[in-house]
Amino acid sequence: MSTFGEWGPPPSTGAGAQEDAWGVPVSNGGAADAWGAPAAANASTADDAWGTNDLAEALPTDTNPDATANNADAKAPTESAPVVQVVPEAHEGWTQPRPYDYTNAPNEWASNAMVYEWDGEMGDVGPEHPDLEVMLFGAKNEKAPSHGLDFSKIAEIAVYQEGPVRINPIMTFDAAGLHPVMLRNIELSRYQVPTPIQKYCIPTIKQGKDLIAIAQTGSGKTAAYLIPIIDKLMGKARKLCAPRPNPATYRVGIDPPCRAEPLVVVVCPSRELAVQIFNEARKFCYRSMLRPCVAYGGGPVRDQIDQLQKGCDILIASPGRLIDFIERPDVLTLKRLMYMVVDEADEMLHADWEEEFKKIMTGGGSTEQEDGQVKYMFFSATFPKQIRDLAKTYLMENHVRIRVGRAGSTHENIKQNVIMVDPGLKKKALFDLLNSLPPTRTIIFTNSKRSADDLDDFLYNKGIPCTSIHADRTQKEREASMRAFRSGDSPVLIATGVAGRGIDVRNVMHVINYDLPSIEYGGIEEYTHRIGRTGRIGHRGLATSFFTDKDEGMASVLTRTLLETNQTIPDFLEAYVPEGPARENLKFEADSDFEEDTGGDDGTGGGWGGAGGESAPNNDGWGAAAKDEGESQANNNGWGEAVKDEGESQANNNGWGAPAEAGGGWGASGSAPTVPGW
């Protein structure tokens, strides 16, 4: 097996430091030593550190024939796809690569997935549908898709809010005043406690407020908006929903169609993400009259229209297809719209989408909504201040802003390695890297479609069971690729940025930035989203990034990002480590809307290097789960009072926490409509 040293310099800190970081003894020779990575051969130690028990069970291998039974995402390998024997250069634990079978491609589209069909004769709540229930939530005896070992870490992250209205977080789903059917759907989803962003967003949305919500990747933002929105509509569906045929008896093409008049639109930047959110909506709408649909480019227009014409109350869509349908008033109107959710909002508000976005937000100019009828909400893990400012132009004055941790911060559960690699040896480095670790579900990101194709061929021919996805693939290929990755048939996915945001696949243990995102295209936000495909909902994961001379532009902000979560800094990034107090008080873009951006040193359009971070009292104002009781108490004690200037924190106002050292911070500026900038 080749070792690290052949394709790039060894990590400056040496194997020992990396091992310490993971606390993982390694035992499978040179490569693993170099990486400090857990060894496949040493299952017991690897399992402890990586949680690879789950992983091993999830991957269908010859040695683990029962694997699929324990994985809700998994399905039996596609029988029609021939297994091609390739030279087994790859680690022996990998399954055999399977080529995409063009001739027998299944004629199934994600948009046609079964939803709960509410019979026109039913009351507000429909009876259970055992087969659909298994499809949506997995079998009852199936192992729960548990949150990871470090779920508590999620609960420790400080939560900040700004806005004239103070939100009392809910501590449990039971305490949220949810419809019994929603509570049951949450239970079926095996969610035991709300994540921090859910604790705040559920009551915010239930109070009918516009919202900006920022929380780290994999922290449950999708459910943070779906649960309260669907819940609010559930009991009133009969009154609010547009007339529709009885889906149980409706005959497509024979019975007169109805027009889709959704109450909710969720818009997001990628097709795969739209499908994923649709699948979540299918769960939370179970046993209700509310009918979710999905519309995305590349999928069959006719099929999607057929679905809409059976009735559509919750529409999840990617922008192009949504506009296409908005422009066909016989197919879709937004006149009943009550909730507009923009997921991956900073991406959707990017200048590249400006035209489309305006059209969507005005419903194509054809809406007949009354002022205030539509509640707008923006969600993302990254949300640069300039883009937040733009978002605010769509929101009511009294909107609420919730932020969990620093906007754009990476998760401590993700171990981040950055490796200097000779550009000419990247492929070899990649193969050695994959081979030095236990076979794990892995996403490899490239910056170009050609490079993704190239790597797919290369790894496939080496015996790595991989698949790939990028914008030049047909939608059928893209869906097949995601299915193969989710099921474990092809546990290695090579992707361009199309899979960088939002995609949630269980047990992705490793993300590799074969190409680092460049400052011009995506920058550190793209990095944050990409590595966030692992380490989700309390699980741990590894992110490895190949660094070359071309990546100098990312060096400074990348180094600060690594420092923020105490990652090992490689030698070649040492020069970018801030000195003195700046090392302790790392500068990132302004988090609070009361902070000034002073221009950055990263070419990020002046976003970085803003006003000195948050002060101690802010950090303990809206803090850890342990302080939740204190939080509600604080709210009850009048935290909602107006404050006079941004330096005066709420904490100071009622004696929670120490005096502020610096102005700003989301928790700092309180409730005041009197504060400039609102």
Ligand X SMILES: Nc1ncnc2c1ncn2[C@@H]1O[C@H](COP(=O)(O)OP(=O)(O)OP(=O)(O)O)[C@@H](O)[C@H]1O
H helices of 40-129, in order, are: 43-50, 52-58
Q: Which is nearer to ligand X, 185 or 217 (CB)?
A: 217
Q: Rg (Cα) of the chain, in Å, rounded?
A: 25
**Nearest residue to 47 via CA among 440, 332, 500:** 440
Window 129 to 158, contacts with ligand X (CB under 6 A): 147
Identify the helix (H) or strand (E) that includes residue 358. Answer: helix 354-361
Separation of alpha carbons 392 and 399, rounded Å:
8
Contact region with ligand X (CB under 6 A), list: 60-68, 318-326, 332-340, 529-537: 529-537
**Is residue 559 at the binding interface for ligand X, with CB under 6 A as the rule?**
no
Contact pick of 77, 163, 465, 532 for ligand X (by CB under 6 A) = 532
Three-state SS letters, 623-655: CCHHHHHHHHHHHHCCCCCCCCCCCCCHHHHHC
CA-CA-CA-CA torsion sign (304, 306, 309, 311): negative
Q: How many residues does the chain have?
A: 678
Shortest separation between residue 671's beta carbon and ligand X, angstroms: 26
Pair 570, 420: CB distance under 8 Å: yes
Window 363 to 392, contacts with ligand X (CB under 6 A): 381
Pair 176, 208: CB distance under 8 Å: no
**Is residue 222 at the binding interface for ligand X, with CB under 6 A as the rule?**
yes
Shortest separation between residue 341's beta carbon and ligand X, angstroms: 11
Contact pick of 18, 71, 219, 669 for ligand X (by CB under 6 A) = 219
The identity of residue 428, as a single letter, is: K
Shortest separation between residue 599's beta carbon and ligand X, angstroms: 28
**Is residue 536 at the binding interface for ligand X, with CB under 6 A as the rule?**
yes
**Is residue 221 at the binding interface for ligand X, with CB under 6 A as the rule?**
yes
Shortest separation between residue 413's beta carbon and ligand X, angstroms: 12
Q: Give the list of residues 6+ apart from residue 296 with CB closer than 8 angstroms, or none.
A: 111, 271, 274, 275, 304, 317, 318, 321, 475
Window 607 to 636, contacts with ligand X (CB under 6 A): none
**Is residue 271 at the binding interface for ligand X, with CB under 6 A as the rule?**
no
Pair 318, 267: CB distance under 8 Å: yes
Q: Which is nearer to ligand X, 95 or 198 (CB)?
A: 198
**Is residue 194 at the binding interface for ligand X, with CB under 6 A as the rule?**
yes
Pairing of strands 159-162, 400-404: antiparallel
Pair 664, 592: CB distance under 8 Å: yes
Q: Give the list of residues 6+ apart from residue 303 with CB closer than 8 angstroms, or none.
A: 109, 111, 112
**Is residue 54 at the binding interface for ligand X, with CB under 6 A as the rule?**
no
Contact pick of 261, 504, 515, 614 for ligand X (by CB under 6 A) = 504
Contact region with ligand X (CB under 6 A), list: 41-49, 159-167, 190-198, 248-256: 190-198
Q: Which is nearer to ligand X, 156 or 454 (CB)?
A: 156
**Is residue 218 at the binding interface for ligand X, with CB under 6 A as the rule?**
yes
**Is residue 411 at the binding interface for ligand X, with CB under 6 A as the rule?**
no
Task: Give Dmax (Cα) for the chain.
Answer: 74
**Is residue 199 at the binding interface for ligand X, with CB under 6 A as the rule?**
no
Q: Give the list of residues 6+ apart from residue 603 with CB closer than 8 angstroms, or none.
A: 519, 520, 553
Separation of alpha carbons 325 and 304, rounded Å:
10
Q: Which is nearer to ligand X, 502 or 607 (CB)?
A: 502
Shortest separation between residue 485's beta carbon and ligand X, angstroms: 15
Q: Among all chains, which residue has been given the structure tokens 């590894």?
A: 542
Pair 178, 230: CB distance under 8 Å: no
Q: Which is nearer to ligand X, 336 or 483 (CB)?
A: 483
Contact region with ligand X (CB under 6 A), list: 189-197, 309-317, 428-436, 572-580: 189-197
Separation of alpha carbons 491 and 209, rounded Å:
41
Q: Which is nearer to ligand X, 334 or 381 (CB)?
A: 381
Q: Which is nearer to ligand X, 215 or 274 (CB)?
A: 215
Contact pick of 8, 77, 220, 522 for ligand X (by CB under 6 A) = 220
Shortest separation between residue 189's beta carbon and ligand X, angstroms: 6
Separation of alpha carbons 498 and 600, rounded Å:
28
Contact region with ligand X (CB under 6 A), list: 1-9, 65-73, 154-162, 188-196: 188-196
Contact region with ligand X (CB under 6 A), list: 219-227, 256-264, 491-499, 576-584: 219-227
Count residues binding ligand X (CB under 6 A). 19
**Is residue 223 at the binding interface for ligand X, with CB under 6 A as the rule?**
yes
Binding site for ligand X (CB under 6 A): 147, 191, 194-195, 198, 215, 217-223, 381, 502, 504, 532, 536-537
